[in-house]
Amino acid sequence: MLKEAGAEFGIRNFGVEAQNVLRMEKCHIILGSESEQRTNLLDVGLGFLWDRKKTDAKTVGAVALRQAENDVGRLKLVGIRMEDDTRAAHEGSLIVDTKVRGYVATMRKSFTTGEAVGMALVESQLSDIGTRLEIFEDECNGVRLYARVVPMPFYDPEGKRMKM
């Protein structure tokens, strides 16, 4: 009934996977997918939510945030784009060099950009734009995948589309 009623407006089916790709293109995070028990507001790019003016040590999380603020090696959420756009890395794939340095949190082929993009939690030393990341997957048979750290969000970074 909904499809028939919306036919004149071009209504189409819309599923959870499409919704997941759209939110990923805008880098809207899901706590638990693009974060973990060790991450905090600063690690996932939400540091603007922390009211640094409050000096009350009883403010939940303030002490931990102050300690983590300059802690080298913490996991940071970054945008990544695969060098080979024909294949997206699997979620949970490891970022490696001589040791595990992070993992792919979310990755999809973007409908909008046509690129394989995603978000990864990587050690802070690997979070600079342009950094090449080596990705290991169990079934890769020794062949590694590569991605580069890129700015987020992947689509409409100025938010112009939302303001139409």
Provide the Cα torsion 17, 153, 115, 143; round to 10°.
-90
Q: What's the whole-number mean pLDDT along residues 86-113?
A: 91
Instruction: Give residue-wise pLDDT tens across range 16-75.
Output: 888 888 888 998 988 888 988 889 989 998 888 888 776 666 677 888 888 888 888 899
pLDDT at 80: 97
Cα 153 from Cα 62, distance rounded (Å): 27
Q: How many residues does the chain have?
A: 164
pTM: 0.83
On whether the CB atoms of residues 112 and 25 are closer than 8 A, the answer is: yes
DSSP 83-135: SSTT-PPPTTPEEESSSEEEEEEEEEE-TTT-SEEEEEEEEGGG-STT-EEEE
CATH superfamily name and code, 2-35+72-163: Aminomethyltransferase beta-barrel domains (2.40.30.110)
Cα 129 from Cα 150, distance rounded (Å): 5
